[in-house]
Structure 1
Amino acid sequence: MQKADAVYPDQAQTEICSKYGMPVQPPEEMVAIAIDSLGKSPIYGTRVKLPEDGNISWFIHCGEFSDADDFYKPVHVHHLSEMLPQVVNYLCLPTGAKFIIDTAGYEDVWMAE
């Protein structure tokens, strides 16, 4: 399968949602990634309510968070398999979901309050 032909949800994404008792919600075409943080650990993901006329609900960063205006950059979801493959299985978690994963196998998934 070519990266551009990725299907959402795939089996691994469905299993993550099922494991945490959450509905499956396929991602939008774009996500926001803190590109300068790539390679750090842990990896954090937050899915917010899609803003009106917006096209990004996932915000993902590695290591420490920054509130700098240019911290996140828009990236097409299909580039994640190359840039940050560890997060692909979490992309079908629903609005309000958050996750933390690390390179040692730690995984936590929950719904924001």
Structure 2
Amino acid sequence: MNKKLTYGMNESQQRLCDKYGVKPYPCVDGSKIGISLNVKEGVQPIHGLRCEPTVDTCGWYIWAGDWSDDPDFFNPLHLEHLPEWCSQSLPFLQLPPGWRFLIAPDYEDVWFDENLQL
């Protein structure tokens, strides 16, 4: 039986899913995300997109600033370390595959991206 992320479904995540009319899609404990190193450096804005999860990933890719096609742009990070890297992304973790977010100081945008290859 898969365990769900213990800090996963909190009130802010439930409100966000309710706001966009989506059923929460939990992340599994021990799974990884792809994250750019500049996220931890505080670069803004923060982008996130969720693809279909795999055996050991929850499908989230999070980066700061501009996208890069560099094959080393995203690094694997176990989900339990995300609060130290980018706590402001935690409310979005329950959004299902196909959803994206963009956040910056005093700004938030959340949308379903039909162009994501799921």
Same fold (TM over 0.5): yes
Structure 2 unmatched runs, 5+: none
Which residue of 1 is the match for residue 57 of structure 2? 55
Which residue of 1 is the match for residue 108 of structure 2? 107
2:88 is aligned with 1:86: yes
Which residue of 2 is the match for residue 24 of structure 1? 24
Q: Structure 1 segments of 4 or more deviating over 6 A?
A: none
Give me the whole-angstrom Cα distance separating, in 2, the residues matched to 1:41 and 1:72. 16
Percent identity, aligned pairs only, is 35
CA positional deviation for 1:67: 0.6
Give me the whole-angstrom Cα distance separating, in 2, the residues matched to 1:55 and 1:40. 24
2:72 is aligned with 1:43: no
Give me the whole-angstrom Cα distance separating, in 2, the residues matched to 1:37 and 1:84. 7
Structure 1 unmatched runs, 5+: none
- For the residue of structure 1 that corresponds to 2:8, the secondary structure is coil
CA positional deviation for 1:56: 3.9
Which sits farther off after the overlay, 94-103 or 42-51? 42-51
Q: What letter is aligned with 2:26?
A: P
TM-score by structure 1 length?
0.86
Give me the whole-angstrom Cα distance separating, in 1, the residues matched to 2:43 and 2:57. 26
TM-score by structure 2 length?
0.82
CA RMSD between the two structures: 1.6
Contact 1:37 1:61 in 2 (8 A): yes
Give me the whole-angstrom Cα distance separating, in 2, the residues matched to 1:37 and 1:30. 15
Contact 1:32 1:56 in 2 (8 A): no
